[in-house]
Amino acid sequence: MSEFITYLVTGIALGSSFALIGSGFVVVHRVTRVVNFAQGSLAVLGAMLSASLLAGRLPHVVGEMVTVVVCGLVGVLVGVVAIGKRGTPPLISLIVTLGVSMLFSAAIIWLWGQDPVSPPGLDGFTTILGAEVERQRLLVLVVTLVAFAGLSLFFSRTYLGKALTASASNPFAARLVGIDVRRMGLVAFGLSGVLGGLAGVLVAPSNALSFYSDLPMALGGFAAAVFGGLVSPLRTLVGGLGLGVAGQLTAGYLNGSYQTEVALLLMMVIMIARSRSFAHEEAK
Amino acid sequence: MLHITDLVVRYGSAVALDGVSLEVGRGEMVALVGPNGAGKSTLINTVSGMLEPASGSVVVEGTVAQVPEGRQMFPDMSVEDNLLLGGWSIRNRQLDEVFDLLPDLAGMRRRKAGRLSGGQQQMVAIGRALMARPDLLAIDELSLGLAPIVVDELAEHLRYLNAERGTAVLLVEQEVTLAFRLCARACVLEAGRVVVTGPSSELAESDAVRKAYFGDLAELADVEVSR
């Protein structure tokens, strides 16, 4: 039983990071129709940067917050490259984000090397139903829930959040009322950078990340985003948590190397199921 | 307050507007009529800045807001949020002014815009445009898909708005009777060119205009035009 609880909590923590990365995909896709494949790289950047800042004796919380802000700014830069030129089709922007992701990998190797990095996190363990659980993993879940609540409030209560929602809902009408839809796209990229950076900062103390972690992180996040139909942050959270738990249970009871395959398989099943439901709706 | 001079607008190699010139005075209501594909919506979209002219000029002395064809709601957002976003360009979040002019909107402020009837959505679209406190309201197809009684109510609101606030109106309208009834002056477009401009009363009585652009409209002879 305690083994199951450990896998469950570990899965929830990892799934939280998928949910954060996935919500970054969702935020960008809703506004720009672009799938930002540099999203996993931003999580890796977050891990590396926070490790360096904390090693440079910046206190906890401050180091993590600076990291998240920097990742947000880098996210805006990714946006400038991907959608900066007016009229760039979403498919071209997607290819650009793939290129940026490769560039990130090269830059991360150049700056931090190839070894996995794990910044210090919250020390100690807590006992839940007889299982020893790292406090850091519980922190990941709490921060993720707070982040999603904040995201929800941002979109529903703030003027900027409503403008972002409007840009996603009806870009023509948004332009008509004077909203600069391209600028909103850059705001969305910035927000996705913040979410990606936050995922990296939170997950790396428990799961060391290296330059090649970007693909599994991006795949996990994208699978969660697909579960949310690339439009719903809340369903992305559910998808991310489900994916994380499924992956950890697979790793614990079967084989750790199957984790990515589980993510891909789930993504494929969800996509097939969704395409059938879309076809059913169209038939109606 | 609106000065359009030798305006040319192209979609790729196709010419949508070919040397259009038009003036709208402060507080004036002008109808833009003509057959489908004449370039009316293109003209209104260029006036509101949604399209770039290939040549010529559009000068607006003041601010312009558009009520687009098909209403173009933010369907999953509330009426209140739709209205608030209308004031985005000037950061106007005062809904009371619009509720004073269109009191029905206050009662539906919490409802999702996508769930409203066509007439209610058109009222939201007008309210949303008013949030930008425009000097010129550019309306693309006021009556499209709406019941006559609803159109009459909206037309009354426009008259009131024009009289109370002095807001100028450029109205694109397929319903010629409505357009002439509401606007003292009209401009007839065909194939991207201005064919004739003049008082609605004169255009309504012009056999040439009626036969060439509106078919055999016996009803037009009896229409009460704005003078």
| More confident call, A284 vs B7 | B7
Query: Which DSSP state fits B7?
Result: E
The domain in which residue B11 lies consists of 1-62+165-227
Residues 15-54, chain B: which have Cβ within 8 Å of A? Answer: 48, 50
Nearest to A163, CA basis, from B106, B117, B164, B87: B87
Check B84 against A165: CB less than 8 A apart. no
Which of chain A's residues have a Cβ under 8 Å away from the Cβ of B128? Answer: 177
Residues with pLDDT less than 50, chain B: 217-219, 221
| More confident call, B211 vs A241 | A241
Check B74 against A173: CB less than 8 A apart. yes
Which of chain B's residues have a Cβ under 8 Å away from the Cβ of A177? Answer: 65, 85-86, 88-89, 128, 132
> Would you state the pLDDT for residue B195?
87
In a domain, B119, yes or no: no
In a domain, B93, yes or no: no
Domain ranges of chain A: 2-283
Check B86 against A165: CB less than 8 A apart. no
> Would you state the pLDDT for residue B170?
96
CA distance B74 to chain A (A): 6
Closest Cβ opposite residue A177 in set B76, B86, B93: B86
Q: Which amino acid type is present at position A203?
A: V
Instruction: For A177, name the nearest residue in chain B, comparing CA atoms only.
Output: B86
CATH code, domain with B199: 3.40.50.300
Check A163 against B93: CB less than 8 A apart. no
Separation CA A52–CA A67 (nearest Å): 10
How many Cα atoms are found within 13 Å in the side-chain-facing hemisphere of B135? 11
**A-B Cβ pairs (cutoff 8 Å, strict):** 52
Q: Is A113 left (phi over 0), alpha (psi -120 to 50) or beta?
A: left
3-state secondary structure of B3: strand
Instruction: For B91, name the nearest residue in chain A, comparing CA atoms only.
Output: A159
In a domain, B113, yes or no: no
If pLDDT is split at 50, 70 and 90, which confidence band does A276 have? low
Residue to substitute from A170, A176, A231, A234, interface B, most B β-carbons within 10 A: A176
Buried b (16+ CB within 10 A) or exposed e, B89-112: beebeebeebbebbeebeebeeeb
Percent over 90 (pLDDT), chain A: 62
B68 touches chain A (CB under 8 A): yes
> In a 10 Å sphere around its CB, with 0-12 CB exposed, 13-18 middle and 19+ buried, how is residue B48 labelled?
buried
Closest Cβ opposite residue B74 in set A159, A169, A175: A169
- Largest distance between two CA atoms of chain B: 49
> Would you state the pLDDT for residue B215?
57
Number of domains forming the structure of chain B:
1
Check B74 against A166: CB less than 8 A apart. yes
> Would you state the pLDDT for residue B226?
58
If pLDDT is split at 50, 70 and 90, which confidence band does A273 have? confident
Report yes or no: A24 and A196 within 8 Å, Cβ to Cβ.
yes
In a domain, B7, yes or no: yes
B69 touches chain A (CB under 8 A): no
| More confident call, A259 vs B169 | B169
DSSP secondary structure letters along B156-184: HHHHHHHHHH--EEEEE-S-HHHHHHH-S
Structural tokens at position B142? 């006021």
In a domain, B219, yes or no: yes
Residue to substitute from B88, B131, B137, interface A, most A β-carbons within 10 A: B88
Separation CA B106–CA B61 (nearest Å): 31
Residue to substitute from B85, B94, B95, B110, interface A, most A β-carbons within 10 A: B85
How long a stretch of residues is chain B? 227
Contacts 24+ apart (CB under 8 A), B101-109: B101/B127, B101/B130, B101/B157, B101/B160, B101/B161, B101/B164, B101/B165, B102/B126, B102/B127, B102/B130, B102/B157, B105/B79, B108/B79, B109/B78, B109/B79, B109/B80, B109/B83
Mean pLDDT of chain A: 89
Check A169 against B76: CB less than 8 A apart. yes
- Give the pairing of strands A131-134 and A125-128: antiparallel
What is the CATH topology of the domain spanning A2-283? Answer: ABC transporter involved in vitamin B12 uptake, BtuC (1.10.3470)
A130-176 pLDDT, tens digit per residue, is 888 888 989 999 999 999 999 999 999 999 999 999 999 999 999 99
B119 touches chain A (CB under 8 A): no
B93 touches chain A (CB under 8 A): yes
B169-225 pLDDT, tens digit per residue, is 999 988 888 899 999 999 999 889 998 899 998 888 876 566 656 555 444 545 555
> Would you state the pLDDT for residue B218?
45
Which of chain A's residues have a Cβ under 8 Å away from the Cβ of B75? Answer: 169-170
Report yes or no: A191 and A81 within 8 Å, Cβ to Cβ.
no
In a domain, B149, yes or no: no
Buried b (16+ CB within 10 A) or exposed e, A218-245: bbbbbbbbbbbbbebbebbbebbbbbbb
> Would you state the pLDDT for residue B190?
87
In a domain, B137, yes or no: no
Which of chain A's residues have a Cβ under 8 Å away from the Cβ of B68? Answer: 172-173, 176
Report yes or no: B65 and B129 within 8 Å, Cβ to Cβ.
yes
Check B88 against A173: CB less than 8 A apart. no
In a domain, B8, yes or no: yes
Report yes or no: B29 and B155 within 8 Å, Cβ to Cβ.
no
Closest Cβ opposite residue B89 in set A165, A169, A177: A177
Does residue A274 surpass a pLDDT of 80? Answer: no
